[in-house]
């Protein structure tokens, strides 16, 4: 009986083998499937920007918008190598303010930033130009540099901006120095498991931009982030006092005497106006980023 079953089994095996061989032959003759197209390489360029509304504009602790609300915006193009170029703009104070920068500020700056291996240290440096279309005598260019060190969830940063001799120093109010150095230190970081970031800043201005003396400015605040929006509340101020302005002569006016002479006297209203530019204030800013 086993012999009668052996032949069909052998024939079946031969048939299967023939079909397999035929299939293999057809497979060899069929065109090969094209490989999947490779994904395009990631762009080496990044474009970012922001638009903001703020209760006022403070620059190095000094009011630039007469303590009035402003609109601000920024735009940056960065390359993966670390090079970048940016522009930033703000509405600002006009002629009715002790600080008159012509109603508009436009900044253009560019540089290079790089993280050094796994040290947590980041370097940054470049050239920064401040342009005031309505008050061009204030246009100024600085060279800047900074070092930032990550420390857990926090970052410690030290840096400086140096303005070499240029036309803006022809109009110094209280200093004959034809250059200026701005040095600062910052500490900030996020609160774990929250959308809140804390930040602080302390700086010193010395040289041609003394106002009305070499002075300190500071910022302490917190930022709440939700998606592409951030809301920041900060205390911003300086160590400049009313006495500093009074002693500088910036708040004086010339009074003409009865005998044709003149005398410089302190104007209380003008003094208060100058003091308001540097006194501590709360600044609230809403920013949308893209």
pLDDT tens string, the chain, 290 residues long: the values are 333 333 333 333 333 343 333 444 434 444 555 566 666 788 999 999 999 999 999 999 999 999 999 999 999 999 999 999 999 999 988 667 788 888 999 999 999 999 999 999 999 999 999 999 999 999 999 999 999 999 999 999 999 999 999 999 998 878 899 999 999 999 999 999 999 999 999 999 999 999 999 999 999 999 999 999 999 999 999 999 999 999 998 888 888 765 667 888 999 999 999 999 999 999 999 999 99
DSSP 4-28: HHHHHHHHHHHHHHHHHHHHHHHHH
Tell me which DSSP letter residue 142 carries.
E
Structure tokens at 49: 């920007």
pTM: 0.84
CATH classification at residue 96: 2.40.160.40
Does residue 105 lie in a domain region?
Answer: yes
Does residue 20 lie in a domain region?
Answer: no
Does residue 271 lie in a domain region?
Answer: no
Does residue 112 lie in a domain region?
Answer: yes
Give the residue numbers spanning the domain of 108: 45-246+280-289
Quote the radius of gyration of the chain (alpha carbons, Å).
Answer: 33
């Amino acid at each position: 009986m086993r012999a009668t079953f052996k032949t069909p089994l052998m024939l079946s095996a031969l048939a299967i083998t023939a079909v397999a061989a035929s299939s293999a032959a057809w497979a060899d003759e069929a065109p090969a499937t094209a490989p999947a197209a490779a994904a395009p390489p990631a762009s080496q360029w990044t474009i970012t920007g922001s638009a903001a509304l703020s209760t006022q504009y403070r620059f190095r602790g000094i009011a630039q918008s007469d303590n009035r609300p402003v609109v601000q915006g920024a735009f940056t193009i960065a390359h993966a190598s670390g090079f970048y170029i940016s522009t930033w703009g703000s509405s600002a104070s006009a002629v009715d303010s002790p600080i008159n920068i012509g109603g508009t500020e436009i900044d253009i700056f560019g540089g290079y930033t790089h993280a050094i291996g796994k040290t947590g240290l980041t370097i940054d440096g470049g050239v920064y130009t401040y342009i005031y279309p309505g008050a061009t005598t204030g246009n100024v260019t600085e060279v800047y540099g900074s070092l930032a060190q990550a420390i857990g969830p926090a970052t410690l940063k030290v840096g400086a901006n140096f303005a070499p001799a240029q036309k803006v120093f022809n109009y110094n109010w209280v200093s004959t120095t034809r250059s200026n150095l701005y040095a600062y230190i910052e500490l900030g970081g996020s609160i774990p498991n929250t959308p809140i970031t804390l930040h602080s800043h302390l700086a010193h201005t010395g040289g041609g931009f003394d106002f009305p003396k070499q002075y300190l400015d500071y910022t302490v605040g917190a930022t709440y982030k939700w998606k592409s929006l951030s809301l920041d509340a900060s205390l911003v101020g300086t160590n400049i006092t009313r006495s500093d302005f009074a002693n500088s002569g910036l708040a004086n006016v010339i009074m003409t005497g009865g005998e044709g002479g003149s005398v410089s006297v302190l104007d209380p209203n003008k003094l208060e106006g100058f003091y308001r530019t540097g006194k501590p204030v709360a600044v609230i800013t809403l920013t949308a980023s893209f």
